[in-house]
Amino acid sequence: MRLSQVLITTLREDPADAEIPSHKLLVRGGYIVKIASGIYTYGPLMWRTLKKVTAIVREELDRESAQEVMMPMMHPKELWVSSGRWERYVADGIMFTLKDQKGTEYCLGPTHEEVITAYADQAINSYKQLPVNLYQIQDKFRDEIRPRYGLMRGREFIMMDAYSFDVDEAGLDVSYAAMDRAYRRIFERCGLQFRSVQADAGAIGGSGSEEFMVLAEAGEDTILYCEESGYAANVEKADSVPAAAPADPGSAPLDRRETPDVRTVEQLEAFFGMPAAAMAKTVLYEVTWTDREGVAAVMMRGDLDINEVKLVNALDCLAVTLASDETIQKVTGAEVGFAGPIGLPEDVVLLADKTLEGRQNLLTGCNETGYHCLNVQMGRDCRMPEFRDLRVAKAGEMSPDGAGPLRQARGIEVGHIFKLGTKYSTNMDATFMAESGKPTPFVMGCYGIGVSRTAQAAVEQNHDERGICWPAPIAPFECAVVCVDVKKPEQVELAEKLYAELRDLGIDACLDDRPLRPGPKFKDLELLGFPFSITVGRGAVDGMVEYGVRRTGEKTDVAAADAVTAVRAALGR
């Protein structure tokens, strides 16, 4: 392509709403233009990149025998009611819903488990047709509370979503492993540095869920990993070996103490001269279940923090929020700062973190303003709580496998693979005829890649102060042949010749024949970030050009033919 014919509008100034480098650079390069909050038009150059990402995705999924389909974006409400997800998605506010002229309700697909399950139910009759893995690449719609960072968190964005159907769990394991392989190759080929991490699998949990994280400071996710063993998990899910609790000196009678105005863990440490690890703080949450609301009291060792994702899973609820002061006062009968497990109303769910199991002699609040209790023994002085893993794992603590300390990194979630099991097929009564002759629910997996997010994540990892440094496999063009002065026939002639030669070699080259002064032209090209360049300038009369590598900034004067050889070698062609 000739850049004089490509719509390129670069900006000097960073857009006001952009906070991270990749967002700034994509807007400044004219790659994306915002139409509304979280909604973008991809310009011609961005679309070239996105087509390259999707081509890689297709190749690698096809290699694993997945089949491409295309499902509707508009879904009837009753499908989502049949899976039990309509209310939750509407309550979360994440789903765009609409009505047709007859008043029938629909949503714009935020994800496609419902549609694919309904399709599989009709299209797959017998175990003989399984396994099947179906995928599509399509726009998804989510009314994110905080759309931001450009394509990273959009409200309309491109996703590859795949769904596997197997006769049993063993089959699912095979399908899941195939997707894991495909994902690794996809992100490697996109030139990304990534890590796969254990992910929260929600309340159904258990069977398996991994996220693929592009490592970058701007990432919204926190990852904990162990260099020694390779353990890696999203902090939402991560486990660790916490510091040991102080020794427990055997059972002692409950001891109620006056603690005027002593409310926080720090104040208690000072007042009693006891370490936080000897205390149990009691935190109250307001809980929303599908069918009711209530309050939960969560006991946590004083030096540790509550992981709300784990808490939601333990309660098998939709959401938790810290209880308001009013609720705390109502439930405990005391001012804020004195909550404890003793004498809580029966309808308050009582949970405690696993680190408290078997402990005696805890220091806790007593649900009485101005008092705390020493030697609290769960089961004796209060109800026996249910013990669950509710703790936030932290960098510096030991990896759960004991191999070494956990380290922390930030990540951008670009992909997610998930063993669903029979959750949707059971709810929606989607079955196939098993070998036994019995109708049997499909065993399913689901898999997603944020295609537009991946493209921007590549920029977040590959840029410098002058602009983007695209990884070659997803660059809009692999190489630019730059004609410095389009009024000089010898420059035009040589540039045209090199451009044609590169294209004949199968290299995705463009010809920068824009009638710009050299300064702005080079600035533009650095911002746009094509990986290689051959610049044809004054040396053209002697057949000399400049070979450039965007990432390293390296520039070498070479004979025209050698420049082509250098580009070929760099691209491995």
Positions touching ligand ATP (CB under 6 A) are: 111, 142, 144, 153-154, 157, 159, 413-416, 448, 450, 452-453
Which among Mg ion, ligand ATP, none contacts residue 154 (Cβ within 5 to 8 A by kind)? Answer: ligand ATP
**Angle CA 227–228–229, to nearest 5:** 100
Which among ligand ATP, Mg ion, none contacts residue 463 (Cβ within 5 to 8 A by kind)? Answer: none
| Contact present, 336 and 263 (Cβ < 8 Å) | yes
Question: Per CB under 5 A, does 48 bind Mg ion?
Answer: no
Which among Mg ion, ligand ATP, none contacts residue 423 (Cβ within 5 to 8 A by kind)? Answer: none
Can you tell me the distance from the alpha carbon of 69 to that of 115, in angstroms, rounded to the nearest whole number? Answer: 12
Q: Shortest approach of Mg ion to residue 332 CB, angstroms? A: 37
Q: Shortest approach of Mg ion to residue 448 CB, angstroms? A: 7
Question: Between residues 232 and 339, which has the closer beta carbon with respect to ligand ATP?
Answer: 232
Nearest Cα residue to 473 out of 392, 375, 573: 573
Question: Per CB under 5 A, does 281 bind Mg ion?
Answer: no
- Residue ranges in 362-421 that form contacts with Mg ion under rule CB under 5 A: 416
Size of the site for Mg ion (CB under 5 A): 1
CA atoms within 13 A on the CB side of 547: 17
Q: How many helices (H) and strands (E) does the chain have?
A: 14, 31
Question: Tokens 């440094």 map to which residue?
Answer: 469
Burial class (CB in 10 A: 0-12, 13-18, 19+), 41: exposed
Q: Shortest approach of ligand ATP to residue 43 CB, angstroms? A: 18
What amino acid occupies position 115?
A: V
For residue 473, give the DSSP letter. Answer: G
Question: Between residues 301 and 416, which has the closer beta carbon with respect to ligand ATP?
Answer: 416
Q: Shortest approach of ligand ATP to residue 426 CB, angstroms? A: 21
End-to-end CA distance of the chain: 20
Q: Shortest approach of ligand ATP to residue 446 CB, angstroms? A: 8
Nearest Cα residue to 182 out of 57, 5, 297, 322: 57
- Residue 126 has a CB neighbour count (10 Å cut-off) of 11
Can you tell me the distance from the alpha carbon of 411 to that of 223, in angstroms, rounded to the nearest whole number? Answer: 7
Question: Between residues 215 and 563, which has the closer beta carbon with respect to ligand ATP?
Answer: 215
Can you tell me the distance from the alpha carbon of 544 to that of 534, in angstroms, rounded to the nearest whole number? Answer: 10
Nearest Cα residue to 420 out of 399, 446, 441, 384: 446
Which among Mg ion, ligand ATP, none contacts residue 171 (Cβ within 5 to 8 A by kind)? Answer: none
Question: Between residues 112 and 416, which has the closer beta carbon with respect to Mg ion?
Answer: 416
Q: Which residue is nearest to ligand ATP (CB)?
A: 450
Which among Mg ion, ligand ATP, none contacts residue 240 (Cβ within 5 to 8 A by kind)? Answer: none
Question: Between residues 421 and 448, which has the closer beta carbon with respect to ligand ATP?
Answer: 448
- Residue ranges in 412-441 that form contacts with Mg ion under rule CB under 5 A: 416
Q: Shortest approach of Mg ion to residue 199 CB, angstroms? A: 7
Question: Per CB under 5 A, does 75 bind Mg ion?
Answer: no
Q: Shortest approach of ligand ATP to residue 408 CB, angstroms? A: 18
Can you tell me the distance from the alpha carbon of 129 to that of 122, in angstroms, rounded to the nearest whole number? Answer: 12
Which among Mg ion, ligand ATP, none contacts residue 242 (Cβ within 5 to 8 A by kind)? Answer: none
Q: Shortest approach of ligand ATP to residue 206 CB, angstroms? A: 17
Q: Shortest approach of Mg ion to residue 436 CB, angstroms? A: 35
Question: Tokens 């299209």 map to which residue?
Answer: 123
Nearest Cα residue to 366 out of 262, 222, 438, 285: 262
Which among Mg ion, ligand ATP, none contacts residue 111 (Cβ within 5 to 8 A by kind)? Answer: ligand ATP
Nearest Cα residue to 449 out of 158, 165, 24: 158
Residues that bind Mg ion (CB under 5 A): 416
